[in-house]
Amino acid sequence: MSNTTITPQSAPNRRNTELMMLGFAVLVPVLAYANIGLAGDGRLPAGLVKYGLGLGLLAFGAHLVVRKFAPHADPLLLPLATFLNGIGLVLIYRIGLEPTRGQPKAIQTAPTQLMWSALGILLFLGIVVFLRDHRLLQRYTYTAMALSLVLLVLPIPFPAVNGAKIWISLGPLSFQPGEFTKIIITVFFAGYLMVKRDALALASRKVMGVYLPRGRDLGPIVVAWLLSLLILVFERDLGTSLLFFGVFVVMLYIATERTSWLLFGLALSATGAALVGSIEPHVKSRVHAWLDPLYYYDLPKPSLTDSDQLAQALFGYGSGGILGTGLNQGYPGEIGFAANSDFILTSVGEELGLTGMMAIFMVYALLIERGLRTALAARDPFGKLLAAGLSVAFALQVFVVAGGVTGLIPLTGMTMPFLAQGGSSVITNWALVAILIVISHTARRPAPPTVAGEVSAIQNSRGGRRRRAESPVFDQPLDPADADELAGPTPVHGSPLDITPGAGTPDPGLSGAGAGSPASESGRSGDVPSPPSAPPDALTVPGGVPGVPPRPAAPPGAPPSADPMGPRGHSQ
Amino acid sequence: MNKPLRKVSIFCLVLIAALMVRANWVQVVKADDYANNSHNKRAVYADYSHPRGDFLVENRPITGSIETDSKKYEYQRTYTDGAMYAPVTGYKSQFFGASLLESIDDSILSGDDNRLFVRRVIDVITGKERRGGNVALTLNSKAQQAAFQQLTSQNKTGAVVAIDPATGKILTMVSTPSFDPNKLSVNDSKAQDQAWKALNGDPTKPMDNRAIRTTYAPGSTFKLVTAAAALASGKYSPDAATQFDSPMRYPSSTKELTDSAGAERCKNATLKVALELSCNTVFAGIGADLGDDAVKKQAEAFGFNDFGAYDFQKPAEDTKNNLDVPSRVTASKFPSNKTDVGATMRASIGQQSVAATPMQMAMVASAIANNGKLMQPYLVDSLKAQNLETIEQTQPKELKQPVTPEVAGQLRDMMKGVVEEGTCKTAQIPGVEVGGKTGTAQRGVNNSDRPYAWFVSYAKAGDKMVAVAVVIEDQDADVERNDISGCKSAAPTAVAVMRAVLGK
């Protein structure tokens, strides 16, 4: 691990890289937009300049704010999100040019989506400006739980749209609260698991080489499972249900490092899926369509839940082939309803071909991996869990939607992040990226050039963070999570390799109680760059994670790590 | 927490990799299956995204392709004299597929054919709009017109097929009542749907292709086949008297077979006279004398039973035996009557269960006119590229030799006799050698239904030749049910076609 990346003076904050990438992220959609007009009636579409300037200004504004308020954030997150949002707008515009199957005339929804995108970017800016430290969210762990429960049950009294009860409508506006819940519930999971991970990880019996959780520790996972089953039954929303449960299980695994949780979660979700798949007609017909996409054409009398949408999507991919028909030269309207939301990827496949599909998947993969990188780089367990949870939620959503519309897995009815038409979705995803940016800024921020105790210097160097630093959230040790990374192979208490993040706080996650105590302040010494003469640290810190400053060895004789994973040892 | 995080990162990459593999699967491996699925309208839209090639008759297009304001169906197929050419071209519909040559030569007309590939690439490079290739037909426009006019001017239901015996070129193919294929290519799904329902529900069945896909009892025209069998057997010659009674009793039956030309003239008549007068007793007697196998063998030599399945819609078990011109011709049939001599007698005069398409009877006349050689009938003279360069020229092909040149000559003499002295003197054309055979096929229980009127003929003038078969279903009520009706109803059409082809 190169130490140069952590020297504040020379640390490249990559903002210029971001700006350059943003240029591409704006240019490509603008050219695609021009392409649509040229392929249609041979002229550049009206409002090309307006659209280009609009997207460009939004992106540039976002860049400036990131430059100012999160200068050390990952440079790829913003360009990737801008690119996907821009391409999404272009695709929505293109699909809106023609009536879809069963529609009397074309409805252009791109302007609405542009408005939602602008709102999403504004929310992004708001989060980057005002959420200066993601740990603030930790305070609202149980508020988040309550809020997500409310949001989840909210759509139940509202009428089902296309078979799923995931909408709430207030007058002319309608929302999909499930989208917002994605972030809020991840905040809850992160906060909850940070507190409980010790208990969940520690107590277990080993049966046939697998550590089985204790019966009473099964509580949370069973509750999450039941909840997702209830979503499935009451809202008929397979996607959201799968997403929440999947995110919970993965975060549980990350928090406890217990493979048994994964196996357990897998078993539970398989049971749940089989159960619901065999009862719920809505889900049943989708499983049918997945097993035999062309089944619809063999039905003598298709019922209301039967659909040939997947078949039409596959036809679209087939007609698109490797290079695609070219924008505005295919027939995405054949998909019927949801052509510009759930099924928007089909238009990519048809008009941009396999080439375009691979490119889009690549961009999603990059975005997800940058998110997970952020989790790796984060110095606090809450940040790690939150970044990981959000990235995994994003990844699962991409997989579930793209897998559904390509026939890899049964169709679940969710929107393609950033690409698809839908205000709730685009706003949520901008918020998600904003939180990742905040976490990555915090993680990649160069460590202050001071030693433990010189708090004021740290705070000055961060500019105006003093007030926040006094808030209880920040009084916890910054990095118990990395402690387990740094824990050497020798679980001897007081060894130089044993990290003492806090002053004897048994559960670092609960250390918010120790407000302003000198002990917790001293925990901030974790930010101090390690002297070059600390080879054991350098060896145990995973290589190649930029911006993660190695921790200095704890003072000898410090209390043993409360982190149960420490003693288990991690030899990298 | 970093260790599980790394594993989760790999898991996420695996998810994306799975999506990528799936995309390759659906867009490369399965792409053709999906692209060409019959439920995939995109293939249809692609088909309509550029002008379709045309059918040419004597180098003039009889079809067109006009631009519409629709984005899905950018071009619309148009037909000039659509109803007249419908039995040849078929239709090309946005919603109901295509039929006949529109379907068979679709790859040329749409431009997808591999032989048009180079031209397509050149068009792309030079920025020219893509266009389909053309299909040049063998039809004779005047003869086609004459036949169509003859049938439609009197609202007749029937069909006409004319072949050039020397090459097999189909010069005329008409079926009435016909339909206007423009109705099935108009760019309006509602109008098309209505037209489709109306055409299919029409009791006069305008979409039936009677020339090649309807079989009729050939009636007395089948006597040509029986006569050929008789001459080929060597037991009979045109001018030797036969030994058959008139009226004639069917074996083990009280029913009698009579001759409308009169018992005295038909009793012991020569073969030539018997054909001229269309004596049922003589040919029924010959059938009984030669036996079922001999008559059947001769019928099969002309093409009965020989080609394909009886139902053209069912796949033939042995496809090499299909008669494709290139539209598939429904098989004509001569069923075995081995144990029932009475049935063989009736079959020998074209009744019983004998069934023939007008195409089949034209082939009989064609073989006789062409010294016994039966040429493969064909409709497509050549396939042409967008610039009318020929990319495939159909070569005439001998199908088989149903009769010897000698027997063919004798049959021609006998057929000439029919026109010069026999049942249809009105079919004479000055300065032209015309031979024919009338027929009236009886139908229904106790012949209660209207009979079919047939006229099968050939004509020669100089080095030009033509063989024609005409069948008409609904002759006038006042026409008596005898052989004369074939001459009265069907022969004028045949004469008009022969005149048109020979230019007389």
CB contact under 8 A, A392 and B12: yes
DSSP class of residue B169 equals B
Taking alpha carbons only, the member of A169, A171, A166, A170 closest to residue A152 is: A166
**Is-contact B307 B321, C-beta < 8 A?**
yes
**Cβ atoms of residues B21 and B27 within 8 Å:** no
Contact B9 A381 (CB under 8 A): no
| pLDDT tens-place string over residues B128-154 | 888 899 999 999 999 999 999 999 998
In this prediction, residue A524 carries a pLDDT of: 38
A266 vs B contacts (CB less than 8 Å): none
Q: Where are the alpha helices (DSSP H) in B326-475?
A: 341-348, 358-369, 405-420
| Partner A contacted by B71 (CB < 8 A) | yes
What sign results for the dihedral spanned by CA atoms A313, A318, A324, A328? negative
Report how far residue A415's alpha carbon sits from residue A409's, in angstroms, rounded to the nearest whole number. Answer: 15
* Chain CA centroid to CA A89, Å: 21
Structure tokens that stand for A428 in this block: 């949520």
Q: What is the spatial distance between Cα A95 and Cα A93, in angstroms, rounded to a whole number?
A: 6
Amino acid identity at B61: P
Q: What is the mean pLDDT of residues B264-287?
A: 93
Cα A199 to Cα A258, A408, A514, A564, B71: the distances in Å are: 12, 37, 21, 9, 64
Instruction: Please tell me the predicted confidence (pLDDT) of residue A474.
Output: 41
As a whole number, the mean pLDDT across chain B is: 90
Cis peptide preceding B61, ω within 30 of 0: no
pLDDT of residue A69: 93
- CA neighbours within 13 Å on the CB side: how many for A193? 33
Query: From residue A59, how far is each of A108, A115, A124, A164 by CA, in Å?
Result: 23, 14, 11, 34
| Burial category of A101 from C-beta neighbours within 10 Å (exposed 0-12, middle 13-18, buried 19 and up) | middle
Q: Give me the DSSP letters along A295-353.
A: GGGG-SS--TT---HHHHHHHHHHHHTTT-S-TTSS-GGGG-TTTTTTTHHHHIIIIIH
Q: Which amino acid is at A236?
A: R
pLDDT digits (tens, 9 = 90+) for B67-117: 998 888 899 999 999 999 999 999 999 989 899 999 999 999 998 888 888
Asked if the Cβ–Cβ distance from A368 to B16 is below 8 Å, we say yes
User: CA of B100 to nearest chain A CA: how many angstroms apart?
Assistant: 26
Q: How far apart are CA B480 and CA B476, in angstroms?
A: 9
Q: Any chain B CB within 8 A of the CB of A400? A: no
What residues of chain B lie within 8 A of the CB of A250, using their CB?
8, 11
Closest CA–CA distance from residue B48 to any residue of chain A (Å): 13
Q: What is the CATH number of domain B45-123+131-137?
A: 3.90.1310.10
Partner residue facing A317 (CB), from B6, B18, B34: B34
Say yes or no for a CB contact (<8 Å) between A365 and B9.
no
- 3-class secondary-structure state, position B113: coil
Per-residue confidence (pLDDT) for residue B447, from 0 to 100: 64
Calculate the dihedral angle through the C-alpha atoms of B479, B485, B490, B495, rounding to the nearest 10 degrees.
Answer: -110
Predicted confidence pLDDT, tens digits, chain A (572 residues): 444 444 444 456 788 999 999 999 999 999 999 999 998 888 888 888 888 888 899 999 999 999 999 999 999 999 999 999 999 999 999 999 888 887 778 888 888 999 999 999 999 999 999 998 888 899 888 888 888 888 888 877 777 766 667 777 776 667 788 788 889 999 999 998 888 887 777 766 666 666 666 666 667 767 777 777 777 677 777 777 888 888 988 998 998 888 877 888 888 888 887 887 777 777 778 888 888 888 888 888 877 777 888 999 999 999 999 999 999 888 888 888 778 888 999 999 999 999 999 999 999 999 999 999 999 999 899 999 999 999 999 999 999 999 999 999 988 878 899 999 988 999 999 999 999 999 999 988 877 655 444 444 444 444 444 444 334 444 344 444 444 443 333 333 433 333 334 333 344 333 333 333 333 333 333 343 434 433 333 333 343 344 444 444 444 444 444 443 433 334 33
Q: Contact B274/B266 with Cβ under 8 angstroms?
A: yes
Cα distance between residue B423 and residue A239, in whole Å: 83
Evaluate whether A3 touches A441 at the Cβ level (below 8 Å). no
- Of residues B485 and A462, more confidently modeled: B485
pLDDT at A39: 87
Mean pLDDT over B455-475 rounds to 91
Q: Is B189 on the interface with A (CB under 8 A)?
A: no
Q: How far apart are the C-alpha atoms of A223 and A227, rounded to whole Å?
A: 6
Please check whether residue A294 touches B, CB under 8 A.
yes
- Report the candidate in B231, B190, B280, B143 with the shortest Cα–Cα distance to residue B410: B231
Which one is catalytic: B110, B220, B457, B485?
A: B220
Query: In chain B, what is the straight-line distance between the N-terminal and C-terminal CA atoms, in Å?
Result: 101
Residue type, A97: L
Q: Does A60 touch chain B (CB under 8 A)?
A: no
Asked which of A67-81, A304-318, B173-187, B466-480 is least confident by mean pLDDT, the reply is: B466-480
| Predicted confidence band of residue B356 (pLDDT cuts 50, 70, 90) | very high
Cα(B428)–Cα(B489) distance, integer angstroms? 15
Give the tokens for residue A276: 């619901």
Integer angstrom CA distances of residue A174 from A155, A425, B26? 10, 12, 35
- Bridge partner list, B435: B458
Q: What CATH number does domain B219-379+399-502 carry, 3.30.70.100, 3.40.50.720, 3.65.10.10, 3.40.710.10?
A: 3.40.710.10
Omega before B326 within 30 of 0, i.e. cis: yes
DSSP output for B187-241: S-HHHHHHHHHHHHH-TT-TT--HHHH--B--GGGGHHHHHHHHHHHTS--TTSB
Output the pLDDT for position A132: 85
Query: In whole angstroms, what separates CA A158 from the centre of its chain?
Result: 28
Contact B156, B492 (CB under 8 A): no
CA–CA separation, B482 vs B160, rounded Å?
21
What is the interface pTM, i.e. ipTM, of the complex? 0.77
Cis upstream peptide for A567 (omega within 30°): no
The answer to whether residues B350 and B75 touch, using CB atoms and an 8 Å cutoff, is: no
- Residues B4 and A389: their CA atoms lie apart, in Å, by 12
Q: Domain segments of chain B: what residues?
A: 45-123+131-137, 219-379+399-502
Amino acid at A296: Y
Task: Say if residues B70 and B187 touch (Cβ distance below 8 Å).
Answer: yes
Among candidate residues B501, B504, B503, B467, the one with its CA nearest the CA of residue B143: B501
Closest Cα of chain B to A295: distance in Å? 12
- Spatial strand order in the sheet of B170-176: B170-176, B158-163, B464-472, B449-461, B433-443
- The DSSP code for A161 is B
**Residue A572 burial (C-beta neighbours within 10 Å; 0-12, 13-18, 19+):** exposed
Q: Cβ of A372 and B33 within 8 Å?
A: no
**Contact (Cβ atoms closer than 8 angstroms) between residue B466 and residue B171:** yes
Hey, are the CB atoms on A358 and B34 less than 8 Å from each other? no
How many cross-chain Cβ pairs, A to B, lie less than 8 Å apart? 149
Sign of CA dihedral A375, B9, A409, A258: negative
> Is the predicted pLDDT of residue B475 greater than 80, yes or no?
no
A253 contacts in chain B (CB < 8 Å): 4, 8
Q: Which B residues 25-44 touch A at CB under 8 Å?
A: 26-28, 30-37, 39-43
For B45, name the nearest residue in chain A, comparing CA atoms only: A331
C-alpha B284: how far from its chain's center? 28
Burial profile A324-348: b = 16 or more Cβ within 10 angstroms, e = fewer: bbbbbbbbbbbbbebbbbbbbbbbb
pLDDT of A244: 84
Residue B141 is among the residues annotated as catalytic for this protein: no
- What span, in angstroms and rounded, lies between the C-alpha atoms of A443 and A435? 12
Contact B71 A98 (CB under 8 A): yes
The per-residue pLDDT for B10 is: 94
In the prediction, which pLDDT does B200 show? 94
pLDDT above 90 as % of chain B: 67
Q: d(Cα B336, Cα A373) in Å, to the nearest integer?
A: 85
| Closest CB to B5 among A365, A384, A406 | A384
Q: What is the DSSP letter of B245?
A: -
Which H helix or E strand runs over A210? Answer: strand A210-213
Integer Cα distance of B12 and A399 in angstroms? 9
> What residues of B are in contact with residue A80 (Cβ under 8 Å)?
none
Q: What is the 3-state secondary structure (H, E, C) of B116-161?
A: HHHHHHHHHHHCCCCCCCEEEECCCHHHHHHHHHHHHHCCCCEEEE
Whether the CB-CB separation of A374 and A363 falls below 8 Å is answered with: no
Q: How far is CA A559 from the centre of its chain?
A: 36
A243/B contact by beta carbon, under 8 A:
no
Q: Which among A314, A372, A398 is the nearest to B5, CB-wise?
A: A372
Rounded alpha-carbon distances, angstroms, from residue A52 to A17, A423, B276: 21, 20, 89
Q: Using a CB–CB cutoff of 8 Å, tell me whether B6 touches chain A.
A: yes
For residue B77, give the DSSP letter.
E
Instruction: Return phi, psi of residue A107, to 5°.
Output: -120, 120
